[in-house]
Structure 1
Amino acid sequence: MNKTLITRILISIAICISSDKLMGQIIDNEQAHSSIKWRQIKTENYRLIFPNTFDSAAIKLASQLPSLRIKSSGDLRKNPRTITLILQGNHLSQNGYVQLAPRKSEFFPVPSSTADNQEWLPNLALHELRHVAQFDKLTGRIRGPFFEQLALALYALNLPAWYFEGDAVQIETIHSAGGRGRLPSWEMPIRANVLSGEKYDFNKYVLGSFKDNVPSHYSIGMFINTYLTNQHGIESHEKIMEEMRTKLLRPFNFQRAFKHASGLTPSKMFKEMMNEREGFWKTNDDVNSIHNEIKTKKSRYPSDYILPQLGNNNSLYVLKSSPQSINEIIRIDNDGHEYAVAKTGIQITPYFHIRDKQIAWDEYRKDARFGKQTYNVINILDLPTGKLRTITHKSRYYSPALHPTKDVAAVVEVDEANRSYLVLLDTENGKAIARKTVPKGMHIQQPKFNSTGDKVIVLAVAAEGTNLLEIELEGNRQRLRLAWGNQQLERPFYVGDDVFFKAHFDGIDNIYRLDQSGTTYKVTDARFGAFNASHGADSMLLFNDYRYNGYKLASQKLTTGTSDFTQQVQLYAQPTIDQINDEQTLATTDSLFQVTRYSPTANLVNFHSLSISSTNFESFDNYIPGVFWLSNDVLNTSQIKLGYEYDPNISKSIYSAEVSYRRYLPVFTARYANRGLVGNAVSSNQPGQVIMYDYRDHHATFDIAIPLSVYRQNTVYSYGVNFGTSYTKRYDMSIALRNFNETIAFPLNYQAYFNRNSMRSRMDLAPRWGQNISLTYRHLPFEKQISGQVLSVRTNFYLPGISSNHSLQLRVAAQRSSGRYEGVYDIPMVSGWGNFSSPIVTNTVLVNYRLPLFYPDWSIGSVAYIKRFQGLLFSDFQNIHESSSPKSFGIGISADFNVFRYVLPDVNVAARLAYINDASATRKIMPTFGLSYTY
């Protein structure tokens, strides 16, 4: 069990390496919409696959890939092998990943409203291609069609996530004029922690925390990698991975290679780096801020109050988030009391805009069946009535800004060809009134009207960098308001004819003012960073002031500001940049690329790995040793498994073949197995004697599933139907048996389910509200010798507990069965069942109360890092129509932790004590232990 769990952990960590721009994922089994017509471009080193609407953007990327390839792999002295790159142009989640088994990389190339300091797609490609180079440098000699999963496991075993992600962020920083390592906001959480006296150890920065503000392992990984190359040269990366490459089975391979290259272990380098940064930050610390803090509710945990804005009657509205609760728009009175307004659901970029009695925001949605067909819709909330309307459907609109006097909203649209437009929407019906084009190759973000509604200011991002673009709505006259640069500009808005916006000209994020003459003035002087400004009452400026415990609220007078500001902070990676002699520009080739049709059907078969798990390490229940040859196409539409297993408990073998096809609405799965089995029977001559026998069978199954799910605000709905049948033919009996059914022909199984659950906050143990129901029916309509049926219903309800993040669960299940299905249970049984004499069970009830106990953030060396302890109270009931007394009840405790500094999976180990309330129980007290993991 321990060996297989560790194998699962190691493989899972590396199955997909995500860029973590917005969302990360580990195992990606979603599909694009079946209606997409795919195209491809083949080059010497890449195969680009993309929707037919994405031709222009794909050709542009293809011309940039030779330059990106050199930048991403040159210092490793490795030429990566050919790889498939998939551009998911219909998926709006701003992200990307690289994986083996099968070998591919997927880019989600659509830029959103999230501000950046350079173009999205080339920067994403640079980051992900670094991962390709890492794979090939370390385990590139271990290849398909048999060993890609092995290469994946060895990669994950050897290279920690903080290192390979930090390295990729460093590469995107030093080989471009942008990159996250150039942003003050990237180091801001660590700097705020250090200067505020919140000092955390290496494990906490790598593995995170429920209770404290700790940035992702990408951040600390980039800083350690930069310290490494600043001190020991850019060639350190190649030295580490070259030494590791030939010793992949050596214990502590990474730590030893890292120490050989630098003279330090990673944890000691972390301490040195933090000491160096602390000294530098303290020397440049400025605590003389001039703003006033706005009172908010005290909390023991970090909380963010972002995007402060004044609504009707000068009421203050903000978007609040914390580990204890999901994102919610709230109203705050002068005493700091909070009043709920609306939950915003999933947003690519947290945002809302208020005008008088209306609030608008955008929300991320997905197709019910195809997870890579996603949308961004516009919501309008009427405050007096509380009525919420989604005015657009299946749209690609971002950042709605309400017109100062009309029922109009300005939004940014990004079409399926990756072109940006400014669109004016009628807020009553969501119809487009006007659509303004912008220069080719330019992406725009975060629009805002001026006070008269005849001009809009937007962020502009293009190959030249970032800028502010002003658009006059009458005539579509456009002008750039700044010189092109690589500032991360955010949230521009008008005050009169001046434009206020966030930038970091002096090395720290602050609010700036741009007047009509083109002069820029620094308005705020925040210690760590000022963001999300808006115009308040009485010539006041409202904004977010970042602290170690979150984005807090602040205000100050709308002063002129100072135009005397200069860059004060040197880029941390500058010593490394000075070593590489890279102009940080992106060269393009003049090659003519041939675009051809890509056929998913013709590329369904793609064998890549041998595996020892029939479930791809998703479950170890009843594990049987075996070997399986796996095939997956690169679009996630097909899976083939050819397998052999040997069950040592019964000394029998199993041969199997399985095909799954997921391209269209239904998911089809067919499986054949030739199985060796054992059974027992009662002797007809000696009724008390049990006879063991063995046999083989041909067992074929066929299943059709329609799995659907959607998001609506803070609620997730999942629903669907399943249908299955099978055919069994038994043969090669070791003994002759009377009344033995050699054939079981086509039993039918049906399932329908509907689940409605509220989204969970980081600290929630279960949904605050949830209603889940599943109906299953099985019978034998085509059998003459045997008959039977079973009908079952399973329900699960979640309710809030008595305190934050507590959860009450009520599970009710019932079934009715007959014939062959008598004594077969499709419902969950009570705790301890099997340890007492039980009649036929027709229903069970579970009452379960879960609560967080404390959040220790304990490190046990590098072996384990414990984030949370949970408590459990439970009571089980059986056949409640006969007895209302619990059949068993008890308590439990569990711990959430990470092992060996692996970021994922999150492991939970649990212990429970159940008291069996039945006179026939062989044991009254039943201890049980469990081990589970999530991603």
Structure 2
Amino acid sequence: MMKNKQLLLKILLLVSTCLNAQQYFGGHPLGQNWQIISSPAVRVIYPNGMNPQAERIARIINYMDQNNRRSIGNKKRQIDIVLQTQTTIPNGYVGLAPFRSEFYGTPPQSNLSLGSLGWLDVLSIHEYRHVLQNINAKNGIVNFFYYLGGESYWAVVNNMVLPNWYYEGDAVITETALSDSGRGRSPYFTLQQRALIAENIDYSYLKNRNGSYKDMLPNHYPLGYMMLTYLRNHYGNDVIADILKESTAYDGLIYPFSKAIKRHTDLKGTKDLYKKSWEEFKEKTQTQLENTALIATTPLLKKSPKTITTYSYPILLNNNTVIARKKSYNTTDELVKISNGKETKITSIGINNDDFLSYNQNLLAWTESTRNPRRGAQNYSDIVLYDLKTNQKKRLTKHTRYFSPSISPDGTKIAIINISSLEEFNLCILNTKTGQIEKTFENPRNNFLSRTAWTTDGKNIITIIKENGKLCLVKINIENGETTELTPWTSHTIETPFVTQNKVYFNASYLGIDNIYSTDLQGSKKINKETSVKVGAFQPSIYKDQLMFTEFSSKGFLISSQKLIPKNSFISYQEPNRMEQFNTVANQTEGGNILTKIDSTTTYNTKNYHGLFKGLKFHTWGIIPSSSVSSINLRAVNMLNDVAVNFSSGINHNENNAIFYNGNIVISRFYPEITFSANKTNRQTIFEDNVSNSLNLLDFDETNLGLKIGIPLTWYKGNYITNFEPYVEGNQFILNNSKTVFNQKSFTAYNAGLSFSTYKRTALQNIGPRMGFAMDMSKRADFLNTDNGNQFNINTTLYLPGVSKNHNLRIRGAYQKEKLSNTYQFSDYYIYPRGYSAPLNDEFKSISFNYDLPLAYPDFGFAGLIYFKRIRANLFYDYGIGKLTSNNIKEEYKTQTYNSTGTEVLFDNVYFNVLPISAGIRYSHLLKENLLGNNSSGFQFILATNLSF
């Protein structure tokens, strides 16, 4: 009877949760020693040994808090930041409910998107801007909803009024304006937009806002950067502060953000802002292209792919054969061979966060991700080798933090970047056979290192060093460690070195478009430009006089080539990187590069941080009004996200206004996850009365005290994600009923079970996993009286590939047994054949066949209310057998079959430009009528929450 309340709560919280990065509950290894720095603007909780980095974060944020608020507002609130260093996945977020932030400290290996800024510096500037956005959005109605429901409501209302492109575009402007680098100065950041302009493709604001399953679109980062840059340049740098304040106060209930833009500018609203900013950006891009002498390239494949595809790191084996990585909107990562225009798959590439690939001596090397099964915030980057001669693949290392593996010319060694959990960066050499480290090079200033490549004689390793916001390509002698700088230090991006006998080729952003450049290996630091393309050229590879690389287009990263033309036309470029053609007012008015102004002598109070309930705070007290169930929900979590407290109380209007109470404490710091729960609620069940030989409806009050111990485990292996959780739960039930029905007023029950799933990861267009298996099994029973409550349940689902890449076959089998003669019955969550209401039964078994397929990608919406991204269908057939064992039941009712077929049509829509909800209709046709009368065939409205997965 509480499903409506639960669904409403899920929808209300969806906005606040879907915008945050992944949060790992109980993700830290047990025994991790934490410390905390307290300062006026921020508290930084960090692992012992990371004090310099934590102090740097605190200094940058306090400087911004005091000096860089003019375009955002003056409201203040201290933020808690947890610095994660056990993860190898770079990320960061600011979340509401609870109001906190996490920095995932391991930097990305690629320099393309972030440029030359230090990783923690970027996070500090960018994420603290999100902090200021959120606290300054707490106005008017937003403030009212905060007091009504806490931080979850704060998040919901914020995100309903402020578009996601505002959050990220404004933060990118800030990181660019307050540094000499930042994404706003990287041509890679605007890659998608410039590709569309180069091919004369224009998409509507609604399509850009909501995305597409079929077409390549810039995400909300460059979209917001473009729109807000136009706004600042034409209407003053600080206009966005007034728009933020008025829109979040809901000054104009319908489209408040758009109306605030209209009040402060001569624009008609958000769509007009998009149109004008897009036209201006197009004009600047076209002018840039008109002033660029292009060099023609030849595509490797004559036909463009039908779906958006990314090829990376093409390797020329000979004149006719190329090996490369590939992924697309309908396929996950794989290794492919392209020979004479024909493409064949070599092998799959597992879960990873970097697309680096190296080749030598018939060996290919890349990295794949694994993780601590129990601790999601501790994961690894291991090296995988593939032998083209034997077609054998092996994982060379386990539980390591290695990146950018490059195979030596003789195939016996691998150069890697090793990043420790204390953010120590080292260049190392591994043995190809054993995976053991043979040599580690000194890095006395602990500069960030990225990418590796060997010289052809095997005597030197090329890598990229980052120091003080600058990048440099260097050569390191493997015998004596002597370092030779090959390029000048630059704030432009440098990426992916490829070495020939006399030169090193790499892609860089020197002249405003990413292209392939070269320099000699002697250290002259003279730079030659090798390619000149419209949008961007990356990842060079050379065979004889052929230069091959990936080139970006509206269809993704495709493989192109051109002849190497010997020349010595050395380029000159501007430092620092200004990107004048796309410059912003913010760059002159926000305060300039603050990273040179930070006082490195400032210190803050530091102390140990420990305690199970340390930092526990109630963040949500969500009042949920409803015609059926009204409730208040209290939610709390501690700062390390391994203890949660939840409490709810309300009135069930469907049960004579019965009052219910639910509460639990979940502790996930230890290896098992422990849950203490208590609830009191009204129940209603149907049971078979053995005295009157009739079916009776029973209302009673139930108090339940529970203790659950489970071990949630997750593995990454290759392309599969496997989850396994065994659990055991004990419950003390106290029952109260005006009639003398129950044999016992109190009894103790157990619930033992396990859940298991293993899925092949999916690509964007895949409706479901093409391979996988899931099982949930549980046994619930009274310890002493098997007739009082006894339920066994098992559900299994097998996932198989369909005819097409985006088709999916699901076969679901289930079994449940619980006698109607049991006076007390556990809640029934069984999924019965579609078209039938839940039938009376002592035992039920069923099988279901589902075939999912996409029908269309409309990319159509209106008024910012609804946007249609995909229409898909599910063809199903359900078969079930229900049994009643009582002697009081007529023989023809004892065994009933339930047989139906039908179609579900689902619309994967986005509502209000924020809420992704799948809803549609189901038509069920009964192949056999149920004699008990529980038939509900015909049309039915369905949400994704009540699909039979």
How many residue pairs get aligned? The number is: 912
1:60 deviates by 2.9
Amino acid aligned to 2:216: N
Shift of 1:813: 2.0
- Aligned equivalents of 1:35 and 1:521: distance in 2? 53
Does the 8 A contact of 1:890 with 1:913 survive in 2?
Answer: yes
Tell me how far apart the structure 2 counterparts of residues 808 and 838 of structure 1 sit (CA, whole Å).
30
Query: Deviations along 1:113-153, whole A, 9 cap, x unmatched?
Result: 12132211111111100010011111176778973233223
> Partner amino acid for 1:268?
D
- The corresponding residue for 1:305 is 311
1:152-551 equivalences under 5 Å are 152-247=155-250, 250-264=253-267, 265-285=269-289, 286=292, 288-295=294-301, 298-311=304-317, 315-334=321-340, 336-515=341-520, 516=522, 517-536=524-543, 538-551=544-557
Note closer, same or farther for the CA distance 1:716–1:604 as it changes in structure 2 (3 Å cut): same
1:401, CA displacement in angstroms? Answer: 0.2
Q: Conserved in 2, the CA contact under 8 Å of 1:101 and 1:609? A: yes
CA distance in 1, matches of 2:109, 2:407: 16
Q: Given that residues 381 and 389 in structure 1 are in contact (C-alpha distance below 8 angstroms), is that contact kept between their aligned partners in structure 2?
A: yes
Q: Could you tell me which amino acid in structure 2 is paired with residue 603 of structure 1?
A: K
Counterpart of 2:472, as a letter, is: N
**SS of 2:15 mapped into structure 1:** helix
1:790/1:199 CA distance change after superposition, 3 Å = same
Query: How do 1:425-824 residues align onto structure 2 when only pairs under 5 Å count?
Result: 425-515=430-520, 516=522, 517-536=524-543, 538-561=544-567, 562-564=569-571, 570-589=580-599, 590-603=601-614, 605-612=616-623, 624-650=629-655, 651-677=657-683, 695-731=700-736, 733=737, 735-745=738-748, 747-783=749-785, 786-787=787-788, 789-817=790-818, 820=822
Alignment-derived partner of residue 90 in structure 1:
86
Q: Is the contact made by 2:685 and 2:825 (CA closer than 8 Å) also made in structure 1?
A: no
What are the residue-to-residue correspondences of 1:75-86 with 2, within 5 Å? 75-86=71-82
1:21 maps to which residue?
none
Distance in 1 between the 2:689 and 2:850 partners? 45
Show the counterpart of 2:852.
850
CA distance in 2, matches of 1:687, 1:425: 77
Could you tell me whether the CA contact under 8 Å between 2:363 and 2:411 is conserved in 1?
no
Unaligned residue ranges in structure 2 (runs of 5+) = 884-893
What secondary structure is seen at the aligned counterpart in 2 of 1:139? coil
Q: In structure 2, do the counterparts of structure 1 residues 685 and 764 end up closer, same or farther at CA, with 3 Å as the change threshold?
A: closer
Deviations 1:706-727 (A, max 9, x none): 1111111211111120111211
CA contact (8 A) 1:76 1:235 kept: yes
CA contact (8 A) 1:48 1:84 kept: yes
TM superposition shift of 1:596: 1.4
Instruction: List per-residue Cα deviations over 1:275-317 (Å, max 9, x = no partner).
Output: 1122222233258423222126643222122110034897310
How many Å separate the matches in 2 of 1:251 and 1:789?
53
Shift of 1:684: 9.8
The whole-number CA distance in structure 2 between the counterparts of 1:464 and 1:686 is: 84
Q: 1:477 offset after TM fit, Å?
A: 0.8
Give the Cα–Cα distance (whole angstroms) in 1 for the partners of residues 903 and 652 of structure 2: 36
C-alpha separation in 2, matches of 1:682 and 1:876: 28
Q: Which amino acid aligns with 2:274?
A: F
* 116-125 or 64-73: bigger deviation: 64-73
1:454 Cα offset (Å): 1.1
Match of 2:35 in 1: 39
Q: Match of 1:340, as an amino acid?
A: K
User: What amino acid is aligned across from residue 89 of structure 1 in structure 2?
Assistant: T
The alignment status of 1:928 with 2:940, answered yes or no, reads: yes
Alignment partners' CA distance in 1, 2:540 and 2:701: 73
TM-score w.r.t. structure 1 length?
0.92
For 1:829, the equivalent position in structure 2 comes to 832
> What is the CA distance between 1:584 and its match in structure 2?
4.9
Task: Verify the 8 A CA contact 1:792 1:826 in the aligned structure 2.
Answer: no
Cα separation, 1, equivalents of 2:930 and 2:473: 78
Q: Is 1:900 aligned with 2:912?
A: yes
1:531-588 deviations in Å (ceiling 9; x for gaps): 011122x221110111111111111222234324656962423333233452454422
| Contact 2:647 2:662 (C-alpha < 8 Å) held by counterparts | yes
Please name the residue that 1:126 is paired with. 125
Structure 1 residue 699, shift from structure 2 partner: 1.6
Check whether the contact 2:198–2:534 (CA below 8 A) recurs between aligned residues: no
SS at match of 2:383: strand
* Aligned residues of 1:791 and 1:815 also touching (Cα < 8 A): yes
The alpha-carbon distance between structure 1 residues 841 and 569, as it changes in their structure 2 partners (threshold 3 A), is: same
- 1:317–1:825 distance in 2 versus 1, CA, 3 Å: same
Deviations 1:244-282 (A, max 9, x none): 354478332212212112222011011011111222222
Moved more, 411-420 or 839-848: 839-848
Summarize deviations over 1:202-245 as a string: whole Å, max 9, x none: 01112111111102111111100000001011111111123235
1:381 maps to amino acid: Y
The equivalent of 2:888 in structure 1 is none
Letter in 2 for 1:599: H
User: Contact (CA 8 Å) 1:800, 1:807: kept in 2 or not?
Assistant: yes
Relative to structure 2, which stretch is displaced further, 350-359 or 921-930?
921-930
Q: What letter matches 1:99 in structure 2?
A: G
Whether the 8 Å contact between 1:67 and 1:586 is mirrored in structure 2 is no
Q: Does residue 1:887 correspond to 2:883, yes or no? A: no
Kindly tell me: are residues 596 and 290 of structure 1, through their superposed partners in 2, closer, same or farther at Cα, counting changes over 3 Å?
Answer: same
State the secondary structure of the residue aligned to 1:178.
coil
- Three-state SS of the structure 1 residue aligned to 2:188 is helix
| Deviation digits for residues 809-830 of structure 1 (CA, Å, limit 9, x no counterpart) | 1112234555738898665321
